[in-house]
Amino acid sequence: MLGIADYFWRLLPGNPILLRVVQTAGKKRRDAIIRCGYLGLLVVMVTWILSTSGTSYGSSDLAALTKDSALIFQYMSYLQLALVALLSPVFTAGAITQERDSQTYDILLATPLTNGQIVLGSLLSRVFFVVALLVSGIPIFSITQIFGGVAIKSIFYSFLIAASTALVTGAMAMAMAIATLKVGTRRTIFSFYLFIVIYLVGFYLLDSVDFMHLHYVDAAGNPHTTQTSWLTGLHPFLALRVIFNDANYLPPNLADLPGRWQSWPYSWYWTSPATFYFSFMLIASVALVLPSILLLRRMAQSTSGFKNWVLQKIHIGGGATRKPRSVWYNPIAWREARTKASAGRASFLRYGFILLGLSGSILLLTMHATEGSPHQFISSGYDATRNMLFIDGDTRQDLAVSPYVQVKIGDRDGTTDDLNGRYEVKDFTLGPGNSISQINLRDFPRRLDSEQTRTWLLGVTILEFSVILLIITNAAASTVTREKEDGTLDLLLSTPITSRYYIWGKLRGLVSFVLPLLAVPVVSCFLFIAHDLLRWLAEGDSRFQWIVFPEALLMMPSMLIIVCAFAAILGMQMSLRCRTTVRAVMSSVGIIVGACALLGWCGNGILNSRSAIPELSVGAAVFSPFTMLTLLIDPYDFGGRAYDPLIPDADPEGARVTALVMCIVVLCVYALLVWSMYKSMVKNFDMTIRKQSR
């Protein structure tokens, strides 16, 4: 027993790797800046909600204050979880790969430390910093207890979900770093970020699919559908949503579930997805760490990495020579645009991204264009001479129509002439003589209605653009540091190439590299615009609602390109200033994600503000690229008061014109920002390189 206790003491508390980080925690300037920035974001969020709630906190407003307290808790929990998902893989993935980049990894393997001590020490030392961030935010979360409306149990669960997310993402990043050790830090961090974005956004979108929810029939024979889905217990944001007691997202009661779902572990998963999530993630963390412990030294001693082993198994010989390729006038731009795209792995990911994106858009368009099968409908079955209407569907019947029949089509009044159209019969009322005295119709349903189509198209577009931003930011953040590390930058500087020529070539090449990827969301929106244009010409309805506004063909390409150019010049600047690739990638990704999140949050807040003028709020929201996408694709849910048809002073057409004009202004602002950063890089390029060469 004493030997086992001594082993675990050496494994964790006595681990020199863990002790080194714990003892120096808080002493590094970078750690202090990150901690202050994290707490500052929480404080700004609390202040923003309190200042914009519009509540005069008197003795008669305790209920409103309690409601605002619950809202503060929700926003802080979402922000905390997002920051954890962002920071944890960055710190953990670099635990092993930074040792390799600094050439201390082989020395670490030569010490008497076991594989378990190295892996667990590196993992827990990096997760310790994230946990310290969570602990530092407890006083701010305690503010909600003063206002009321938030249970301590909910705060406890919120921190457990965030901590388990940090642990499992850290363990997964550690496993990927060890498995792809010979690939390098930059690709490890980028691959993991790409996986995290697709997982979080993709699963959140799939949660809205009806197929993902449990359908069952109770003892009385009534059908039911659960509000939570099969993915709730596996997704951190969905599990977090459950603890907020959202009336539209409550887990089912155990007694309401069918008999086969009342047994463990199904009962635990469905009735308490939050506790299942952090328990399952703790087990998954252990499962991910164990292979890393077993394979650490074996992977380090192998002559070929995991990637090379896979490529050897699927390799197809193609000859020792290749065809000559024509180079652009600027060879640096050609190298950035063409060599990245022509690599085997890059080509596979590039064409796979394009194929999946366009296939998904075509599938969405097909489901939206295909009509469903309503239970009752009419289709030119009205005989005006006999006043008879044939209702088709499950119950085919021919009914008489009263001369004074009231026809209702959606939210508008219709006439008997509309009975010759093609509509779904919602319900009807029989009057004297079994004749129809009132009938309620609605547009013929589709397999995917307009609201669901907008939601899915918006989610897919945001996911695609987020992946593109990560790709160009990662590529730009390593474009200079990579040449510093392999020594090719000194060779380039010894040529007649000037700093202006070099930086402009990098920027142009990076933007050209992502242009085919940016075409995916633009072409997807074009398909829906073309489909809606044909429908509009055929129907000629003045109340026609577009899935995507036609002006998106002008606004989307220009905005996406200029934002990618900004991400590229920012990544290049970080790559020029930072000495190592991992710091450049961490800084660039952090700034881009933080800027997009801040602009999106402010834009969404301005749109939903009741005090702002609707048209001006739309113009201000265009500054965020993601908010602009919501205004073009789903303005009726995210456009605020400007697009709300129930508000008398709403002017959707004026809001669209305002958004188009402000888009031009925003393009000029972004272009001026990119140009100023470019001029600054050209001016300080030689000085920065000389400082780093000392």
Cα–Cα distance, 548 to 29 (Å, whole number): 47
pLDDT at 7: 43
Cα–Cα distance, 98 to 513 (Å, whole number): 28
Inform me whether the pLDDT recorded for 487 exceeds 80: no
Inform me whether the pLDDT recorded for 62 exceeds 80: no
pLDDT digits (tens, 9 = 90+) for 221-255: 667 788 888 888 888 888 888 888 877 888 888 87
> Residue 617: helix, strand or coil by DSSP?
helix
Single-letter amino acid code for the residue at 224? H
Span 103-114, average pLDDT: 72
pLDDT at 561: 93
Neighbours of 199 (CB within 10 A): 15
How many residues can be counted in the chain?
694
pLDDT digits (tens, 9 = 90+) for 285-305: 888 888 777 777 676 665 555
Cα–Cα distance, 659 to 653 (Å, whole number): 10
Span 445-474, average pLDDT: 84
pLDDT digits (tens, 9 = 90+) for 578-599: 877 767 777 787 788 878 877 8
User: Three-state SS string across 318-379, please?
Assistant: CCCCCCCCCCCCCHHHHHHHHHHHHCHHHHHHHHHHHHHHHHHHHHHHHHHHCECCCCEEEE
> Residue 99: helix, strand or coil by DSSP?
helix
Helix H or strand E segment including 23: helix 16-24
pLDDT at 183: 46
Single-letter amino acid code for the residue at 474? N
Q: Which residue has the higher pLDDT, 27 or 550?
A: 550
Confidence category of residue 343, pLDDT binned at 50, 70, 90: very low
pLDDT digits (tens, 9 = 90+) for 180-226: 554 444 555 566 666 777 788 778 878 877 778 887 776 666 677 88
Q: Where are the domains of the chain?
A: 2-210+276-301, 331-370+448-692, 376-443
Question: pTM higher than 0.75 for the full model?
Answer: no
Cα–Cα distance, 358 to 527 (Å, whole number): 10
Span 617-622, average pLDDT: 80
Cα–Cα distance, 506 to 440 (Å, whole number): 62
Inform me whether the pLDDT recorded for 6 exceeds 50: no
Cα–Cα distance, 277 to 231 (Å, whole number): 10
CATH 3.30.365 fits 376-443, yes or no: no
Confidence category of residue 674, pLDDT binned at 50, 70, 90: very high
The fraction of the chain above a pLDDT of 90, given in percent, is 6
Residues 6+ apart with CB under 8 A from 302: none
Neighbours of 675 (CB within 10 A): 12
Closest CA to 89 of 176, 179, 24, 203: 176
Cα–Cα distance, 444 to 421 (Å, whole number): 10
